[in-house]
Structure 1
Amino acid sequence: MDVMKMFAGRPRLLGLGEPTHGDNNLLDLRNRLFRRLVEREGYRTIALESDCLKGLTVDDYVTTGEGDLDEVVRNGFSHEWGHFQGNCDLVRWMRAHNEGRPHDGQVRFAGFDGPLEISAAASPRQALTALAGDAVPQIDDDRWTNPAAMMDPSQSIGRSPEAKELRLLADDLAAELETQPHPDERALLYARTAVGLLRYHHWMADPSPARLQRLTAQRDAMMAANLLALADRGPTLVYAHNSHLQRDRSTMQMGDQHLSWWGTGALVSAKLGPQYAFLATAVGTIHEHGVGAPPPDTLEGHLYGLPEQTALVARQSPWYGYAPLDPANLPSIDGVVFVRDVTSS
């Protein structure tokens, strides 16, 4: 897959989107593309839609060999993605590639999502302690990670006096790093994470109808900040859901609420311009989940090899886990990677 022929220059951030999470067919395609970018195009980092702090464990392993592969994969990914063979294969290859190479020739791993799960957001303790050590007040993690707070703002600690005190501390620590000409890369990551997490918890405690939209927007803002930092490091392949990487507004239906916000790709593209590129992935069938051959008048149907159509319309998926491409977004997509049939993993 020689994707570089599509671009006038080498993008600093090349986004490869996926329409569904965790399929090993798609993860294998991602791995092959990353190897090619490393070997032929000088890419040195891959960034995944996974917890940025957990990802440090993976980065340490691929650069130094520290730890056990199985344990690193199990604990170094969020969303339980360490169970997928494709992610294990990626980490194994990266470690083998780095063996015996000087530091500046090694490939690096990064998570660029916040420490956020569907059921809860992490406590800010880890990020704050990494920055300030014993100067951080005692933090009860259980109060911050209460799963009831995800749907009930009254259960959130995010607007308590303790939370306000910690937001001031995080802001001060981040501001102190800005006074340094060459701040440590990981310190900056901890500072971004602490500030972002405390903002996220603040919006978790919001009782207004805009609560969920603000949470989704804050998550993507955290992702964008992490990607812009990685872009300063050098050419990076970014792998996440299409909806995060697209330049158009992201949308989601949650119950009776229609959410719409500017996602990671839109925010990064506004900063980097042509130095950000986005390839969306579409699939034809996922028979394992009841996604059969696409109708001929859809984008996927056109790509599936059926007769030419005069118009392309959005495809509907019978499985919640797969998000078809919206043809209206095609003008803002640099290319579409099409996988005709996704087989059982």
Structure 2
Amino acid sequence: MDGIRELALPLRDAGDLDPLLERIGDARVVAVGEASHGTHEYYAWRAALTRRLVEEHGFGLVAVEGDWPDCTRVDRSVRLRPGADADPRTALDAISRWPTWMWANDDVVDSCRWLRDHNAARPEAARVRFAGLDVYSLWDSMHELLAWVQDNEPGHVEAARQALRCFEPFGEDGAEYAFASRFAPSTCEATVVDLLRRLCEERGAAAGGDDAADRFAAEQNAAVVAGAERYYRAMVGGSAESWNVRDVHMADTLDRLLAHTGARAVVWEHNTHVGDARATDMADAGMTNVGQLLRERHGTDDVVLVGFGGHRGGVIAGHQWGAQMQRMTVPPAREGSLEDLLHREVGRDALVVVPRGERPAWLDRRLGHRAIGVVYRPERERWGNYVPTVLGERYDAFLHLEETTPLQPLHLERPDEHVPPMAHTV
């Protein structure tokens, strides 16, 4: 097909990312996707790109599709904060929300150890931060927030306890809260939003340094509780509504981090969050996503969206929501899909940087693009697992990999792990 071989550049080592770095230029946000949450090569290439952005372009924030409290513990380790884990592996191994393998794996350990070593040679104020953007940690964030308020804002303790008491009858079960809110006119939103407002009003009087950083973390835990409350309540209203609550929360969190740190940011999320929803059938269902919101809020010159895809190989995933992880075979891409097209026309690992001006017609075709979430069923490949995608509109660059392998988790799923209510599988 015209233009594919010319545009698909060889991808062999980190040096081959030069055309992508040139495309990124002075952009403040680079959002890097993955076509599954369980593939070693996606994580490894994302880490290679991140390392170059940090070392060569001064990026100071890695923001990921993870929970704020879990990632705060990792962040304290990578930034060598007092009392933090000496090895980021310890912080990652402690993650207890299913699916743990998303972050508790060897590839993320390697990335975070590198970040810690990089930060160790830098002044504290210039160290790269690691932060979670997601919305699932309602109760963890509530408990973290209450502990901080008790130690730092005694005047707000009763407001924090009132917010926590509102959730207590539901036994830290998001599904039970969502079900109850369907029939009860009152919710817990007002108490949490009021507490968040009070904390933000006090911000100007806070001291600098660690105190300011800890206050920001407390405010973010309050924002997570508010966002999670809306998310669980939206679950009863339909998939699109809860999806949008979650992605808007992640985009809002990133914006707060950008304002707080003043840094340039690398974002790690699934393709379905990173790639502009308007270039897929998600838009037809009334769904937005992080990639679309970033372009709308910051402009296309200040945001670069990078996607991944693979032709065949293996992956770590669960066969159903909450299931024990397992290694699964990923069959050759479905005929007529984006991955199949690149396999047939190129047949090797390749980097595609979407031209800014006139571009080959194949970049404007709507093709199926494989998306493997934390739940994967290979037997559905013939009719499912693919998102109709216009590559040239969804991403600014795309990495195609011919053969992929499963990542290596730090541990098997544990019996006491928290499994959030099922709403989405990515």
Bin of the TM-score, shorter chain as denominator length: 0.7 to 0.9
Matched, 1:27 2:55: no
When structure 1 is superposed on structure 2, of 175-184 and 164-173 the one drifting more is 175-184
* Alpha-carbon shift at residue 12 of structure 1 (Å): 0.9
When structure 1 is superposed on structure 2, of 13-22 and 322-331 the one drifting more is 322-331
Match of 1:266 in 2: 292
Paired with 1:184 and 1:243, the residues of 2 have a C-alpha distance of: 34
- Give yes or no for contact 1:285–1:292 (8 Å, CA) kept in 2: yes
When structure 1 is superposed on structure 2, of 84-93 and 174-183 the one drifting more is 174-183
* Alpha-carbon shift at residue 205 of structure 1 (Å): 4.0
Match of 2:161 in 1: 137
- Give yes or no for contact 1:55–1:110 (8 Å, CA) kept in 2: yes
Matched, 1:327 2:389: yes
Q: 1:84 is aligned with what amino acid?
A: N
Cα 1:6–1:296, aligned 2, differ >3 Å: closer, same or farther? farther
Deviations 1:139-175 (A, max 9, x none): 356536215427x522789964765333322233234
* Alpha-carbon shift at residue 206 of structure 1 (Å): 5.9
- Give yes or no for contact 1:128–1:170 (8 Å, CA) kept in 2: no
Q: 1:173 is aligned with what amino acid?
A: L
Matched, 1:103 2:124: yes
Give runs of aligned pairs for residues 142-291 of structure 1, distance below 5 A: 143=170, 145-149=172-176, 153-154=179-180, 160=186, 164-177=190-203, 184-202=212-230, 204-205=232-233, 210-232=237-259, 233-249=262-278, 260-273=286-299, 274-287=301-314, 289-291=328-330
- Give yes or no for contact 1:157–1:163 (8 Å, CA) kept in 2: no
Paired with 1:19 and 1:25, the residues of 2 have a C-alpha distance of: 10
Matched, 1:41 2:57: yes
When structure 1 is superposed on structure 2, of 129-138 and 40-49 the one drifting more is 129-138
**Unaligned regions of 5+ residues in structure 1, if any?**
253-257
Match for 1:293 among 324, 328, 332?
A: 332
Cα 1:177–1:76, aligned 2, differ >3 Å: closer, same or farther? farther
* Alpha-carbon shift at residue 197 of structure 1 (Å): 2.2
Match of 1:255 in 2: none
Paired with 1:331 and 1:160, the residues of 2 have a C-alpha distance of: 42
Cα 1:149–1:58, aligned 2, differ >3 Å: closer, same or farther? same
Match of 2:417 in 1: none
Give runs of aligned pairs for residues 75-86 of structure 1, distance below 5 A: 75=94, 79-80=99-100, 81-86=102-107
Aligned-pair RMSD on alpha carbons?
Answer: 3.6
- Give yes or no for contact 2:65–2:132 (8 Å, CA) kept in 1: yes
The 3-state SS of whatever aligns with 1:304 is: helix
Cα 1:159–1:268, aligned 2, differ >3 Å: closer, same or farther? farther
Match of 2:78 in 1: 62
Paired with 2:221 and 2:403, the residues of 1 have a C-alpha distance of: 38
Determine which structure has greater relative contact order: mean sequence separation of CA pairs < 8 Å that are 6+ residues apart, divided by chain length: 2
Q: How many pairs align?
A: 334
Match for 1:340 among 390, 398, 402?
A: 402
Q: 2:293 is aligned with what amino acid?
A: L
Matched, 1:124 2:142: yes
Deviations 1:184-206 (A, max 9, x none): 34423432442342243245346
Paired with 1:77 and 1:207, the residues of 2 have a C-alpha distance of: 22
Deviations 1:236-272 (A, max 9, x none): 11110111112224767xxxxx953211222222111
* Identical amino acids, percent of aligned pairs: 19
TM-score, length basis structure 1: 0.81
* Alpha-carbon shift at residue 103 of structure 1 (Å): 2.0
